[in-house]
Amino acid sequence: MQVNIYQVDAFTTKVFKGNPAAVCPLNAWLSDGLLQQIAEENNLSETAFFVPTEKGFHLRWFTPVEEVDLCGHGALANAFVIFNHLQYAKSEISFTTFSGELIVKKRSWSANGFSKYRA
């Protein structure tokens, strides 16, 4: 099994600044235990996992010790990966989460990087 992992620094355009999150695109859900082990190994405040759905993506976040219901910088980090590394063609992403639906819209670029995505 191979899981791609992107480390994204949210809210900055500078390396080693901002708020880091790991982003792991998946084709299907792995066990909760394995997701937790991956997050523990990453040892960042949050590791986000997503799978594609008919409407968009199902998104979950894990800290090194537990799953959490919501993570703002993790949601934006996922949008960054989907738009910029997975070449998502639409201008809006719908995430289904345990906290409800999150919509991220791509806007024009701004100097602080992540403000080009609006949740």
Instruction: Name the one residue in this structure whose structure tokens are 């994204």.
Output: 8
The token pair at 112 is: 């602080």
Whether 46 is a known active-site residue: answer: yes
* Set 46, 66, 92, 101: catalytic member: 46
DSSP tag of 111: T
The residues with which 113 forms a beta bridge, in sequence order, are none
DSSP tag of 110: -
> Rounded distance, CA 67 to CA 93, Å?
22
Which candidate, 53, 39, 52, 31, places its Cα nearest to that of 7?
A: 39
* Residue 12, CA distances (Å) to 63, 100, 118 in order: 21, 26, 15
Residues annotated as part of the active site: 46
